Amino acid sequence: MLKWVVVVVMMVLVTGLFQPGLTRLRIGHLPGDLHFRLFGRAFHLPFTSTILLSLLAWALLKIL
């Protein structure tokens, strides 16, 4: 269970870092991705995009 939590947190971080490149694919702006401002800073938490990319990675690894 702990491994899955670590994987999800890492995918959230990776998706957040590569967010400018992924916006062309509309990943990061799916329903369930959170965008908010707090104390003048913008925060982006791409939960749905992380799950989608995790499922895609799992399917690719399962095929290979």
State the pTM of this model: 0.57
Q: Residue 21: its pLDDT value, please?
A: 66
For the segment 7-48, what is each residue's pLDDT rounded down to a tens digit? Answer: 777 777 776 777 666 666 677 777 888 888 889 888 878 888
Give yes or no for a contact between 11 and 49, defined as CB atoms under 8 angstroms apart.
no
| DSSP state letter for 30 | S
Decide if 33 contacts 46 (C-beta within 8 A): yes
Domain housing 56: 2-63
Half-sphere exposure of 37 (CA within 13 A, CB side): 3
Q: Per the structure, how many domains does the chain have?
A: 1
